[in-house]
Amino acid sequence: MASLSRFQKYAALGIGTIGGAFLFYKNVYRHEEGQGQVLTAWTTNFTPSVTWDSNWDRRDPSSMVKPMKIKNEEDENKYNEKIESRKSKATRHLILVRHGQYNLQGTTDSERVLTELGRQQADMTGKRLAELAIPFTTIVRSTMARAQETSKIIEKSLGNIPVEDDSLIIEGAPIPPEPPIGNWRAEKYYYQDGARIEAAFRKYFYRADPSQEKDSYELLVCHGNVIRYFVCRALQFPPEGWLRLSINNGSITWITIRPSGRVSLRVYGESGHMRPEAITST
């Protein structure tokens, strides 16, 4: 998880001409009718089936500044300064952990506590996060019993980090899945849970505020459906596909949001730190 990307390795080897080559290409090789826009993938005129919404979090600098009439160069400079002041400088990292295996026979939340294996999974995950030496700024816990128990076990390995509880990230049914599942569920559950889980996504997933100077790392200990939905939304995949993603108990998912608003999934459902016999997905 902490290994360098191919691009980072190239940069470490001193291959810095890639950036210069790109700028040269962008300035020289243009669309005939594209007003200076570089072709997708540099060398083709491929048209993507979907395009990335750069203002997905409604925090793109151009949407944060009130439009103004540009009458002269001074007005344009003032407007550009305002745009520049709204640009993010830091990267936000969201590390999502699913709770450990729990008592499926429980009929109430208080009865759905971790099994012995679930507690072991949480302990292994806590130790793995400690090994990664991630400078967590905060831990956010679902208020459900299994997530609370999982987080408290993890916290023992991470030391003194501010902790918050949030009922927005409890488990639920985010949106009717596609393709449909065989089990019938009343539409009201999706109607209620979906709005809450979407609200949680909007609360935690966004590019850094311009006032944020340093990169931040937030740990959210929550649930499988919530994490799957978050991943689909963050990557701008069809959210109805959330049920196609399997996720193990105690696994780690890492999403990075760059200052530009670009989002990358660094790892999904990582459970390689566990013994093979300890891996479950129930």
Binding site for substrate, residues?
A: 98-103, 146
Rounded Cα distance, 151 and 153, in Å: 5
- Sign, CA dihedral 124-204-262-191, equals positive
208: left (phi over 0), alpha (psi -120 to 50) or beta: beta
Residues 6+ apart with CB under 8 A from 192: 172
Angle between helical axes of 116-132 and 145-158 (0-180°, round to 10): 40
Q: In the structure, how many helices (H) and strands (E) does the chain have?
A: 8, 6
CA–CA distance, 68 with 58 (Å, rounded to integer): 19
Task: Please enumerate, by residue number, every residue annotated as part of a binding site.
Answer: 98-103, 146
- Distance separating alpha carbons of residues 225 and 236, to the nearest angstrom: 16
E strand spans, the chain: 92-98, 138-142, 163-166, 216-222, 252-257, 263-270
Q: For residue 252, give the nearest of 235, 229, 274 by alpha carbon.
A: 274
